[in-house]
Structure 1
Amino acid sequence: MTSLNQKFRQLNWKRNFITKKIKYFIFIKFLSLFTIFLRSKKNSLIPCSVKKVLVIRNDCIGDMIVTTPFIRYLSMAGYKVYVSSRKNSLEILSNNPYVTDCFLYDDGTFSKLMRSLKIIRKHQFDLAIDARFHRRLDLRHLFFCIFVKTSHLLSYNKSNIKSFNISLPYYKTTEHVTNQLKYYLDYLDINYDSFGYDIFIDSIKDKDVDLFINNNIKPKEKFVVINPYGGSDYRCLSELQILMLCNLFKSYYQEYRIVIIGQGGNFDKLCIPSTIKFQSPSILDVFPLIKKADLVISVDTSIVHVASAFSTKCISIYMEPLLPKPDNLKSIYSREFSNYKYLLQDLFLDKAYIKKHNPNLDLQINKDIWSPNDINSKQIVFYSNSVKTINPDILVKSIKEYI
């Protein structure tokens, strides 16, 4: 009876897989109908005529940090640089002298998205650059880009969307994210050398961190900053992993005081003796702490890129997902549907180029494109579907090798 039930479950998984493929195929075909009515921008780009540039960076904090050298070189080339992004990401640009102005992007609801678009459409740009890096389809972001008022709209892999009158092909799966931005600069004939990140520290927050250090850390005493929390639960360390990591320093590296950063319920409940908790409601609060730290240990999140900006010694914990086991048909179908969905998205956005040149359509590899961008950073990669499932002993042993 159990075997029969299993066969029914397998048939059900296969049926759901086929049904989802058909529904998504119809969805993409439906979207394609709307592209017929988009207006194309036919003017050829003359770089010397460009004065006002919008960098569309509607994404997360780490994405904005790695975009700062790109903004710097645009500004140094003589352009007035404007940036659109989410609220937390725009905080990264506080005190940045290379930015003329910023626009809030809010897609929490469709009405908020329309409000964001209404504000930015009061301005006319000579060039708008879509600086998001992943190839996955984000309809709200795409809608925003299409309806920005600009003479030229530049992006990667958008040959099928005629509103983008400049579509550059980019299908490299292992190149660091900064290389994609350099590709834009090459196209615009803008010279560049160092691609170090720009973070400008607020003087008041700098003084607050100095006070925190003076109150909690003895003169000439080292301190390590541990960031155990990422943007998603599967990127966060478990409480046991955090405890064992702290015990590593208490046992072998007693010259370090331990500072743990974070926010939210898990951070508030965390209670590990002989450690110091640093409340950081804003990423701006953390900047001076990371800069002054002797060592940073972090999961894959924006803190890794903050450490790179200041060239602070950092050990980062990255993760690559495991392939489904051969006997786990449900996971196999889920992975196959995911691959099918991203293939249709690529074709929807860039079919003209793909059909002609047959590029490599493998998905980008996170550990490569988002790796730390500094000589003082060490990346440790685990193959797991969740950081929490990494054996704590193996995790601590791996980190110990690089302290």
Structure 2
Amino acid sequence: MGDFSRKIFFTLLGKVFRNKPKSVPLEVSKNAKILIFRYDKIGDMVVSLPSFEFLKEKFHDSEIWVLASPINFFLLENYPYVDHFVVLHKGIFKKIKTLLQLRKVKFDFIINYVFYRTTKAGLWANLINPKAIKVNMGHNTRNEIYSKLFNVLYPISLRGKIPMSELLCQYICWLFGFPYDKEISKSYFINVPPESLETARRFISTVPGSRKILINISARRKWSSENYKRLVSLIIQDFKDLGIIFVAHPSDYETLDEIVQNFNNNVFAFKSGKDFLDAIALVSLVDLVFTPDTSIVHFANAFGKPIAMMYYEKDSYLNEWIPNKSKFICFVSGCSNNYNDISPEDAFEGIKALLE
């Protein structure tokens, strides 16, 4: 959609929805109902948890709802700081059912955390309750048109400058008039089921070494199996006390087996199948994590584990996705489709620095 067409489209939406600007801080009445949009990826949900906790602690009499996705809602199961969650499934009939369910609640506030496809979020917010106060991240050039869908636009000045968990906590503090303390954004409650912890503990007890490193090979951008093999050789050579554990998505098990079989009993593969919670439990028990850019970074950060991670240099707002709690080293790749320009030697030096 071109700029002119977009302006016409949003002008028409403005006449339909008639959203009036609201000033901050917003007043929250007792028993208010607050809906947050977080219908995207697993890592996005992880970095949102501190802001959910802060919001619930400040407004404990309010109902906190989250509109989640089919892949990230599991983090809200038995989660004490969100009262209700609804999953936004694919398919027009399922979406209509979800919309009708949410319309019945009559939310007072709808806060968007999905900062792309803003039009979709705005339309959903207005269809759920046109009378709710609707909030979104501002934009460098589109605030005039976004104001047709939202009552409040958060200033964009911090985008790309601080980790996302900090940005979201500042978002909430600004919106409701609370002073911001960076410690707020470091409080992650992740409910790992006891059975997953027990599975992870049983496995880790079979891995020799007084310390353990977890190496994840699965992500959209790959590092070659030869690079992983070389990295493992360097680790074994210098760190006799370090147990090496590999994890992967089931689609990468063939590559995982190829890597591990080269090292006899010195390297171990943890295959959790479809139960990602077992892998999350394992992250909570190891001493260091090495991984490409994926949700494993955010889980390791939530548990305060040192992280060596690989990122693409041209990722939008890269600074938003770095850890805010753990010690970390970030290896930045210039390749658009893999991380193979990062050498195993450089990766090893980073891991060595974190271990020492």
* Pairwise same-fold verdict (TM > 0.5): yes
Q: Which residue among 39, 43, 65 is the counterpart of 1:62?
A: 43
Q: Which residue among 179, 195, 199 is the counterpart of 2:166?
A: 179
Q: Is the 8 A contact 2:122 2:150 kept in 1?
A: no
Letter in 2 for 1:217: V
The normalised TM-score by structure 2 is: 0.83
SS at match of 1:113: helix
Cα deviation 1:337-381 (Å, max 9, x = unaligned): xxxxxxxxxxxxxxxxxxxxxxxxxx9521x11111124233232
* Closer/same/farther in 2, CA of residues 142 and 113 from structure 1, 3 Å limit: farther
Q: Which residue among 236, 240, 250 is the counterpart of 2:226?
A: 240
Q: How many Å apart are 1:33 and its aligned residue? A: 5.6
Correspondences of 1:182-221 after superposition (within 5 Å): 182-191=170-179, 193=181, 194=183, 195-196=185-186, 197-214=188-205, 216-218=206-208, 221=210
- Tell me which residue corresponds to 2:292: 299
Q: How many Å apart are 1:209 and its aligned residue? A: 1.2
* Closer/same/farther in 2, CA of residues 391 and 186 from structure 1, 3 Å limit: closer
- 1-structure distance, mates of 2:7, 2:92: 22
Are positions 1:93 and 2:80 aligned together? no
Q: Is the 8 A contact 1:43 1:152 kept in 2?
A: no
- Tell me which residue corresponds to 1:353: none
- 1-structure distance, mates of 2:96, 2:5: 23
SS at match of 1:241: helix
* Closer/same/farther in 2, CA of residues 285 and 159 from structure 1, 3 Å limit: farther
Letter in 1 for 2:161: T
The normalised TM-score by structure 1 is: 0.74
* Closer/same/farther in 2, CA of residues 170 and 163 from structure 1, 3 Å limit: same
Q: Is the 8 A contact 1:54 1:128 kept in 2?
A: yes
Q: Which residue among 248, 252, 258 is the counterpart of 1:262?
A: 248
- Tell me which residue corresponds to 2:109: 127
Cα deviation 1:165-218 (Å, max 9, x = unaligned): 11222143323223322133222023553221221221111111112223x224
**Larger of the two Rg values belongs to structure:** 1
Q: Is the 8 A contact 2:307 2:326 kept in 1?
A: no
Q: Is the 8 A contact 2:308 2:330 kept in 1?
A: yes
Correspondences of 1:3-22 after superposition (within 5 Å): none
> More relative contact order in 1 or in 2 (CA 8 Å, sep 6+)?
1
* Closer/same/farther in 2, CA of residues 397 and 287 from structure 1, 3 Å limit: closer
Correspondences of 1:22-171 after superposition (within 5 Å): 24-25=2-3, 28=6, 31-32=9-10, 34-42=12-20, 44=22, 45-48=26-29, 51-78=32-59, 79-106=62-89, 108-132=90-114, 134=115, 136-137=116-117, 139-149=119-129, 151-157=132-138, 158-161=143-146, 162-171=148-157
Q: How many Å apart are 1:244 and its aligned residue? A: 1.8
Q: Is the 8 A contact 2:70 2:88 kept in 1?
A: yes
- 2-structure distance, mates of 1:258, 1:391: 20
Q: How many Å apart are 1:397 and its aligned residue? A: 4.5
Q: Is the 8 A contact 2:11 2:145 kept in 1?
A: no
Q: Is the 8 A contact 1:65 1:198 kept in 2?
A: no
SS at match of 2:214: strand
Letter in 2 for 1:54: L
Are positions 1:279 and 2:276 aligned together? no
Q: How many Å apart are 1:400 and its aligned residue? A: 4.3
Q: Is the 8 A contact 1:95 1:202 kept in 2?
A: no
Q: How many Å apart are 1:125 and its aligned residue? A: 1.1
The count of residues paired between Structure 1 and Structure 2 equals 331
Q: How many Å apart are 1:25 and its aligned residue? A: 4.9
* Closer/same/farther in 2, CA of residues 109 and 25 from structure 1, 3 Å limit: farther
Q: How many Å apart are 1:310 and its aligned residue? A: 0.9
Letter in 2 for 1:228: I
Cα deviation 1:16-73 (Å, max 9, x = unaligned): xxxxxxx745763564364244313448542345621111111111111111110011
Q: How many Å apart are 1:302 and its aligned residue? A: 0.9
* Closer/same/farther in 2, CA of residues 222 and 318 from structure 1, 3 Å limit: same
